Amino acid sequence: MNCHELIDFCFDYIEGALPEPEQVGFRRHLSQCPDCVCFFETYRKTPELTREALATKIPSSVRESIRSFLLARRNG
């Protein structure tokens, strides 16, 4: 799993809707990627309406992925 996939999956993970194999990959990526730990911890604590503000607080390495994720969710 890469950073983009983790961001795509984090909503389902929080909701408990992620299949077990993806959950394993999700946790494995978190154990290896401090940027995604930072994102995920913040995301989990952030109300839906203010999640878009996360894009200003996260490392630039994942910022574009998160922005496209949020746009896709809003449009989908």
Q: Does 33 bind Zn ion (CB under 5 A)?
A: yes
Burial class (CB in 10 A: 0-12, 13-18, 19+), 19: exposed
Cβ nearer to Zn ion, comparing 3 with 66: 3
Under the binding rule (CB under 5 A), the answer on residue 66 touching Zn ion is no
Q: Which residue number, 10 or 33, has a Cβ lying nearer to Zn ion?
A: 33
Residues 2-31 that bind Zn ion (CB under 5 A): 3
Helix (H) or strand (E) holding 72: helix 60-75
- In contact, 52 and 67? CB cutoff 8 Å: no
The contact set with Zn ion (CB under 5 A) reads: 3, 33, 36
